[in-house]
Structure 1
Amino acid sequence: MTSTDTRPTTLDAAQVRTWLEQPDGPRVLDVRTPGEFAAAHIPGSYNVPLDLVTEHRRKLAEQIDEDVVLVCRSGARATRAGEALSSTGLPHLHVLDGGVQAWEAAGGDLVRGDGTWDLERQVRLVAGGIVLTGVLASTVLPAAKWVSAGIGAGLTGAALTDTCAMGMMLSRLPHNRRHSPELEDVLAQLRG
């Protein structure tokens, strides 16, 4: 399943499961937050959060000489990580289509632990809380409705661009960075 093109290819959960059963299976890099990774991850995967990938792509690429499958919750962050790593010329990049959600739906095993909610769930909680507060506050202060409108506009933009500023901000909170790997530790794991 190797590729000579440096752009990441997309694989479904069944393809990745079959490939991982092979002796020359790929390395799986999970680009979710450390908290999400601690909650549930594919056995044998390495946690390399997206911000670490984008900031240190060249150093990471120097340590990777085999096929890599990038994983996140749904595939969006893994795709961004793939684009960042492919910009270094790194070949053999693959993205798990549908991410951990698709993996679990296809019957794939997950290592479960104590972690935080998925980032998407955190975004729904914060956005919903702000919208609800804005609507309730607008019964007393009519201008407060614009807070809810701003969140709605932000969520629409997030859907259209497949990025989420609120999610990126939430990923930097301490409870999402708990167990955050240091670059040197990630590089040592990749070398080993």
Structure 2
Amino acid sequence: MDWTAQSPPTTAETVEAPLALPEWPVDDPRHSGVLLRRFRDADAGMAVELSRDSYVPTTGTLPAHASHEEALAWVERQRQRHCEGTGFSFAIADAGTSRCLGQIGLWTRELNNGRAQAGYAVIPRERGRRIAARALQALLHFAWTIPELHRVELYIEPWNTASVRSADHAGFQREGLLRSHQEIAGVRRDMLLYAAIGNRPV
């Protein structure tokens, strides 16, 4: 299933003032027929479909079986992520039609330490076409334009083999198993840690 946990972990590693969040990209990041763009009100239908998945609503703020109004409120929350300084929440869209296929985020709370976390979800009827992998590649193209960023992490539950394949196809490397790493739906869950490293001189 093409999704990952959406809520990035917090850290007490640094007490430095947070770095300013980079500007929204002028050009929509894209890769192989997929583009990442700002959310629109019309994307609420995608959010309604995503909310019917049994797992996705447990990993973020989208209510299960959302009404159209609840979906619109979720879309607005995605638009506010950049304003709030928590990161970038993109609509995954078909590059030809701009039809919304899911959501992907780059969360930058650890930018002081050169790190960010990614999370994504693709609507069920669009899974199996490597949309998540292509969206991840588009996200990395954008991520590496941020000078302070050197590492993007993914947290994937071990049973989620489709998401593991997406990470592999996008060039992420598995680094280990984090036992009882975070709580989802009231249960402590193990997480596989995947990461991509920016190809920059040290």
TM-score, structure 1 normalization = 0.27
Structure index of larger Rg: 1
Task: Flag the structure with higher strand content.
Answer: 2
Task: Flag the structure with higher helix content.
Answer: 1
TM-score, structure 2 normalization = 0.26
Query: Which fold has the larger relative contact order, with Cα–Cα distance below 8 Å and residues 6 or more apart in sequence?
Result: 1
